[in-house]
């Protein structure tokens, strides 16, 4: 049980890191990204391949995962820079799906849907499971803390203020001489680093990744974390991630209590509960049960519908 | 007898941003009244508030003895008031015939007969009946927008800057058409930048400044008032 | 005919067949976008729901194909009204993106509802087995021809509805200029309900048509989603003729890509098409909305 709780906390750390990344991209810069699971997958696969196939150290893999995700983020943001929000939703979702299709099909590289197993974890062979989980949790806490401090600094730096200015009114920011595109790309890249590192850390923790892990539902979990965290800052993101993981895990215990259902039905029921909860929270939370200062909105729920001229 | 009576109207896009601060307006049966004033005076907002597109927070709007503030735009249309917005006043991808049908949407049984009338009044619409509205010139588009409004045989017609963007010739023709519609008994309220032309065809004029009534009077008196000529009519 | 030419013609023909079927849900998607103004990802699960409704009608109740297709349309359409009224409508006031996210959650919910009752196994429809016709090396299945005919008839009905009926025209008016439509007395709620019914009904019908060729499972709709979105975006989101053209482009494009790529890259082809169009001509082939 103790081990299980530690494992949950590690997962919460992964989600917190993703939520922090999403906070930069979406919350601070206002760039819609429904494909963050794609960047997470890029980080996970990069690190897994470098360590498993080429024998690089884990640290190198994780850093490379972050960098690769950032590069992909630069490309995606450059291609989509001029798109309207509703198109961005389609493109970013499509991007994540395409990454998954690629991972499923390039069997020579990724083992296809069988996935990559035996991804090394730090001292995994030398430690008991509880010790390993505890060590990993310590690493996770350290990484999340560093990311947290960096994001907080970023948020109050001139860079963060410009990002918010762009988010709130692109034209004003453009007139004020800020190079809007450059800022957007940088924000996207920085957020993607967090997503990529989260993916890499996830891979080294579980030792196994496969395309099935990187589904849109995971993107929704992070969205849920940001909503549940409520207050539009990094603290909310981290707190929300913890809440979401505990919620997700609790559904694991509810479902077996229901008699006469098969494992597939149980799994379906779990996803059903999760998605319905998301809808309920999105509906009643996005409107702002806890109103927050405009300059701190994590998720631009008040984003205007496409202009009708 | 006044067909449209507005008193003490306060309205805007939010409570913090009231554009109409206190406005009264009367439209008598069979007359044309124009609303003029500087930019931002609230002229268009007044029409939108009457038509139900902008919520009013205080005051009353009475159409033929029936209070209409707070009602949905489509209910107000049904009560015999037609509003023609300044821009985006046609359905661009639909044909002229279809646009007119949509104009008369609330009274489907009468569409055919009324469309004949509108086509007779505006031969250009007859000529281009199967063309998409987006292919029309600016003047033709204004005519189509008015034609759509006539499809409900309104008692009151609100026109928001109908001459905006038109050439002087086209604007002149449009004012002729407006006068002709009025002669058939439709009371018309007209917002115009083009103040002197508007005063020419109007019976009564309202000058709004900063969301309040500034002057009200007979159109010809206003047109000849030296001070008003200097301030609002550019000489 | 040379074998290469025959193979090429075969691919084009397959592409036209696939594209015509794809046009059915793509029309549904683009019509909903035109009126409701958000990308409705719940289309995927409605396609799945339609495919399974058709399966129940066809396999469980033994109905012939055409009534089963009609049943798929009705069930998915009714589900579409329910999802819009209960789930998505309140989101629309919060903006297109929040609604789009809600529609993803909704699609996962419905997909799992289907999974709960039907599990993950592949299911096939009960179809008469027929031999392919062969014309000079090009192979055509009678079933494919029937699907093609159904799709063409459905498209003709949609066009007739939009061109000749009062409600169809009202729908186009709302798509063109919602504010003016409101002034003219067109009830936006009624139009939203009709477009949700018709749009999701077409998604369901499309889901079954797609499944007729192979088999269905709870992910049937999701797997086709990128192709359907690609068809609508390539043709110009919001334009119904555009959706038809876009679907043909995507259908043929996907088939031609099979010359160099494995079939499971289908949805990636759609994604690339979306990117290409958005970079080169953001309004799509027939998109003409200026606003």
Q: Is C179 on the interface with A (CB under 8 A)?
A: yes
DSSP three-state, residue B176: helix
- List the 240-269 stretch of A: residues with Cβ below 8 A of C: 262, 264-265, 267-269
Calculate how close chain A gets to C226, using CA atoms only, in Å.
Answer: 7
Alpha-carbon gap, residue C123 to B144, rounded angstroms: 55
Residue A161 pLDDT: 84
Residue C17 pLDDT: 94
Given the structure tokens 């289907």, which residue do they identify?
Answer: C114
Asked whether residue C136 is domain-assigned, the answer is yes
Alpha-carbon gap, residue B229 to B222, rounded angstroms: 8
Question: What are the residues whose beta carbons fall under 8 Å from the beta carbon of B146, sequence distance 6 or more?
Answer: B84, B122, B157, B159, B162, B177, B178, B181
Q: Which of C68, C22, C11 is nearest to C235 (CA)?
A: C22
DSSP three-state, residue B2: strand
Q: Are C273 and C250 in contact (CB under 8 A)?
A: yes
Residue C131 pLDDT: 84
Using one digit for the tens of pLDDT, what is the confidence trace for C63-88?
A: 999 999 999 999 999 999 999 999 99
Q: Which subunits count as partners of chain B given 3+ CB pairs below 8 Å?
A: C
Total number of domains constituting chain B: 1
Q: Are B100 and C179 in contact (CB under 8 A)?
A: no
Between C240-257 and C266-280, two packed helices, what is the crossing angle to 10 degrees?
130
DSSP three-state, residue B6: strand
Whether pLDDT at B138 is above 80: yes
How long is chain B? 235
Whether pLDDT at B55 is above 70: yes
Asked whether residue C95 is domain-assigned, the answer is yes
Q: Which of A92, A77, A83 is nearest to A33 (CA)?
A: A92
- Contact C233/A283, CB-based, under 8 Å? no
Residue A175 pLDDT: 66
Strands annotated E in A142-281: none
Using one digit for the tens of pLDDT, what is the confidence trace for B184-193?
A: 999 999 999 8
Residue B234 phi/psi, 5° resolution?
65, 45
- Contact C102/A303, CB-based, under 8 Å? no
Question: What are the residues whose beta carbons fall under 8 Å from the beta carbon of A10, sequence distance 6 or more?
Answer: A133, A136, A137, A140, A205
**What mean pLDDT comes out for the span C95-114?**
93
Cα-to-chain-centroid distance, residue C285: 18
Residue A178 pLDDT: 64
Cα-to-chain-centroid distance, residue A305: 25
Q: Which of C275, C290, C245, C283 is nearest to C27 (CA)?
A: C245
Q: How far is CA C170 from CA A7, A156, A197, A292, B123, in A?
A: 56, 50, 51, 40, 25
Asked whether residue C255 is domain-assigned, the answer is no
Residue C20 pLDDT: 96
Pairing of strands B66-67, B56-63: antiparallel
Residues C21-49 as b/e (b if ≥16 CB within 10 A, e otherwise) read: bbbbbbbbbbbbbbbbbbbbbbbbbbbbb
Q: Is C283 on the interface with B (CB under 8 A)?
A: no
Using one digit for the tens of pLDDT, what is the confidence trace for C44-56?
A: 999 999 999 999 9
Calculate how close chain B gets to C23, using CA atoms only, in Å.
Answer: 21
**What mean pLDDT comes out for the span C9-16?**
92
DSSP 8-state symbol, C41: T
Q: Which of B215, B166, B156, B214 is nearest to B188 (CA)?
A: B156
Residue C220 pLDDT: 94
- List the 41-100 stretch of A: residues with Cβ below 8 A of C: 79-80, 82-83, 85-87, 89-91, 93-95, 97-98
Q: How far is CA B80 from CA B74, B118, B160, C162, in A?
A: 10, 17, 17, 28
A279: which chain C residues are within 8 Å (Cβ-Cβ)?
87, 102, 105-106, 109
Alpha-carbon gap, residue C69 to C143, rounded angstroms: 14
Whether pLDDT at C289 is above 60: no
Q: Are C116 and A265 in contact (CB under 8 A)?
A: yes
A284: which chain C residues are within 8 Å (Cβ-Cβ)?
none
Q: How far is CA A17 from CA A20, A140, A154, A288, C120, in A?
A: 5, 9, 15, 24, 33
Query: Which structural domain range is residue B182 located in?
Result: 2-232
Whether pLDDT at C282 is above 90: no
Alpha-carbon gap, residue B75 to A164, rounded angstroms: 42
Whether pLDDT at B117 is above 60: yes
DSSP string, C234-284: HH-TT-HHHHHHHHHHHHHHHHHHTTTS-GGGHHHHHHHHHHHHHHH-TT-
- Contact C186/B101, CB-based, under 8 Å? no
Given the structure tokens 């149980």, which residue do they identify?
Answer: A266
Q: Residues C1, C7, C11, CA angle at the centre, nearest 5°?
A: 130
Point out the residue among B85, B92, B98 whose CB comes nearest to the CB of C169: B98
Q: Copy the structure tokens of residue C38.
A: 């958000």
Per-residue pLDDT of chain A (309 residues; tens, 9 = 90+): 788 899 999 999 999 999 999 988 888 888 888 999 999 999 999 999 999 999 999 999 999 999 999 999 999 998 888 787 888 889 999 999 999 999 998 899 999 989 999 999 998 888 898 999 999 999 999 999 999 999 989 888 888 888 888 777 776 766 666 678 888 899 999 999 999 999 999 999 999 999 999 998 899 889 888 887 755 578 888 888 998 898 888 888 888 888 888 889 999 999 999 899 889 988 887 543 343 444 443 344 333 433 333
**What mean pLDDT, rounded, does chain B reach?**
90
Asked whether residue C287 is domain-assigned, the answer is no
Query: Which structural domain range is residue C49 located in?
Result: 23-219
Asked whether residue C31 is domain-assigned, the answer is yes
Using one digit for the tens of pLDDT, what is the confidence trace for C134-181?
A: 887 888 888 889 999 999 999 999 999 999 999 999 999 999 999 999
Q: Copy the structure tokens of residue A153.
A: 């600094």
Q: Which of C189, C290, C193 is nearest to C238 (CA)?
A: C290
Alpha-carbon gap, residue B41 to A170, rounded angstroms: 28
Alpha-carbon gap, residue C104 to A90, rounded angstroms: 11
Q: If you measure CA to CA, which chain A residue comes closest to C93?
A: A305
Alpha-carbon gap, residue C65 to C128, rounded angstroms: 10
Question: What are the residues whose beta carbons fall under 8 Å from the beta carbon of C290, sequence distance 6 or more?
Answer: A309, B92
Question: What are the residues whose beta carbons fall under 8 Å from the beta carbon of C109, sequence distance 6 or more?
Answer: A271, A272, A275, A276, A279, C45
Q: Residues B48, C289, A299, CA angle at the centre, nearest 5°?
A: 75
- Contact B74/C173, CB-based, under 8 Å? no
| Residue B192, domain CATH | 3.40.50.300
Torsion of CA B12, B148, C288, B130, to 10 degrees: 180
- Contact B105/C182, CB-based, under 8 Å? no
Q: Are A309 and C290 in contact (CB under 8 A)?
A: yes
Question: What are the residues whose beta carbons fall under 8 Å from the beta carbon of B174, sequence distance 6 or more?
Answer: B139, B142, B143, B162, B163, B166
Asked whether residue C280 is domain-assigned, the answer is no
Alpha-carbon gap, residue C113 to C274, rounded angstroms: 30
Which of C161, C174, C176 should one mutate to test binding to chain B, selecting the residue with the greatest count of B CBs within 10 A?
C176
A87: which chain C residues are within 8 Å (Cβ-Cβ)?
39, 233, 237, 278, 282
Residue A307 pLDDT: 36
Residue A177 pLDDT: 62
Asked whether residue C148 is domain-assigned, the answer is yes
């Amino acid at each position: 049980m103790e081990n299980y709780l530690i494992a949950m906390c590690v997962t919460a750390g992964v989600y917190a890191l993703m939520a922090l990344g999403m906070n930069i991209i979406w919350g601070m810069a206002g760039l819609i990204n429904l494909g963050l699971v794609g960047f997470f997958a890029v980080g996970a696969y990069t690190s897994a391949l470098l360590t498993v196939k080429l024998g690089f150290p884990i640290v190198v893999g994780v850093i490379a995962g972050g960098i690769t995700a950032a590069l992909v983020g630069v490309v995606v943001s450059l291609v989509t820079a001029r798109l309207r929000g509703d198109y961005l939703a389609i493109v970013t979702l499509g991007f994540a799906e395409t990454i998954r299709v690629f991972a499923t099909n390039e069997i020579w590289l990724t083992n296809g849907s069988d996935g990559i197993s035996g991804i090394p974890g730090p001292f995994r062979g030398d430690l008991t499971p509880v010790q390993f989980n505890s060590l990993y949790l310590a690493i996770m806490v350290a990484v999340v803390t560093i990311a947290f401090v960096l994001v907080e600094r970023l948020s109050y730096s001139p860079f963060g203020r410009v990002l918010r200015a762009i988010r709130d009114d692109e034209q004003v920011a453009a007139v004020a001489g800020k190079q809007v595109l450059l800022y957007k790309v940088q924000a996207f890249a920085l957020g993607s680093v967090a997503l990529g590192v989260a993916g890499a850390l996830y891979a080294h923790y579980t030792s196994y990744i496969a395309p099935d892990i990187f589904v849109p539902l995971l993107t929704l979990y992070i969205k849920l974390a940001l909503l549940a965290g409520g207050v539009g800052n990094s603290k909310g993101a981290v707190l929300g991630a913890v809440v979401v993981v505990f919620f997700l895990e609790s559904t694991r215990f509810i479902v077996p209590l229901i008699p006469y259902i098969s494992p597939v039905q149980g799994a379906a029921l779990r996803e059903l509960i999760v998605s319905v909860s998301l809808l309920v929270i999105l509906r009643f939370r996005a409107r702002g049960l806890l109103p927050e200062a405009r300059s701190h909105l994590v998720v631009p729920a008040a984003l205007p519908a496409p202009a009708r001229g | 007898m006044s067909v449209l009576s507005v008193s003490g109207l306060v309205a805007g896009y939010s409570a913090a941003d009231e554009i109409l601060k206190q406005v009264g307006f009367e439209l008598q049966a069979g007359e044309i009244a124009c609303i003029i004033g500087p930019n931002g005076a609230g002229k268009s907002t007044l029409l939108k508030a009457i038509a139900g597109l902008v919520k009013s927070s205080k005051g009353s709007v009475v159409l033929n003895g029936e209070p209409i503030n707070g009602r949905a735009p489509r209910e107000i249309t049904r009560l015999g008031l037609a509003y023609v917005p300044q821009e985006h006043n046609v359905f661009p991808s639909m044909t002229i015939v279809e646009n007119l049908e949509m104009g008369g949407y609330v009274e489907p049984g009468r569409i055919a007969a009324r469309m004949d009338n509108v086509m007779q009044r505006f031969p250009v619409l007859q000529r281009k009946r199967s063309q998409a509205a987006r292919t029309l010139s600016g003047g033709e588009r204004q005519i189509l927008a008015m034609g759509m409004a006539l499809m409900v045989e309104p008692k009151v017609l609100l026109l928001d800057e109908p001459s905006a963007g038109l050439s002087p010739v086209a604007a002149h023709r449009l004012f002729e058409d407006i006068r002709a519609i009025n002669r058939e008994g439709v009371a018309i309220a007209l917002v115009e930048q083009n103040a002197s032309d508007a005063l020419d065809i109007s019976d009564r004029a309202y000058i709004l400044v900063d969301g309040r009534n500034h002057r009200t009077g007979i159109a010809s008196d206003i047109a000849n008032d030296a001070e008003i000529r200097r301030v609002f009519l550019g000489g | 005919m040379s074998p290469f030419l025959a193979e090429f013609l075969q691919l084009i023909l397959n592409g036209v067949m696939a594209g015509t079927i794809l046009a059915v849900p793509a029309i549904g998607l683009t019509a909903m976008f035109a009126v409701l103004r958000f990308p409705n990802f719940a289309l995927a699960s409605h396609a799945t729901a339609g495919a399974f409704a058709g399966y129940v009608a066809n396999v469980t109740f033994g109905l012939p194909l055409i009534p089963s297709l009609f049943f798929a349309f009705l069930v998915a359409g009714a589900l579409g009204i329910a999802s819009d009224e209960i789930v998505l409508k309140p989101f629309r006031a919060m903006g297109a993106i929040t609604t789009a996210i809600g529609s993803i959650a909704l699609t996962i919910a419905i997909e799992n509802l289907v999974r709960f009752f039907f599990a993950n196994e592949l299911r096939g429809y009960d179809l008469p087995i027929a031999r392919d016709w062969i014309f000079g090396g090009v192979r055509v299945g009678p079933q494919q021809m029937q699907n093609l005919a159904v799709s063409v008839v459905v498209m003709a009905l949609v066009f007739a509805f939009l061109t000749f009926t009062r409600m169809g025209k009202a729908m186009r008016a709302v798509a063109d200029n919602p504010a003016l439509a409101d002034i003219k007395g067109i009830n936006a709620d009624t139009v939203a309900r009709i477009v949700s019914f018709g749009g999701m009904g077409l998604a369901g019908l499309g889901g079954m048509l797609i499944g007729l060729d192979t088999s269905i499972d709870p992910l049937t709709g999701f797997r086709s989603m990128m192709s359907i979105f690609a068809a609508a975006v390539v043709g110009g989101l919001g334009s119904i003729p555009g959706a038809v053209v876009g679907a043909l482009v995507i259908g043929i494009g996907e088939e031609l890509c099979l010359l160099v790529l494995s079939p499971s890259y289908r949805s990636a082809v759609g994604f690339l098409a979306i990117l290409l169009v958005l970079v080169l001509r953001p309004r799509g082939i027939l998109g003409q909305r200026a606003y």
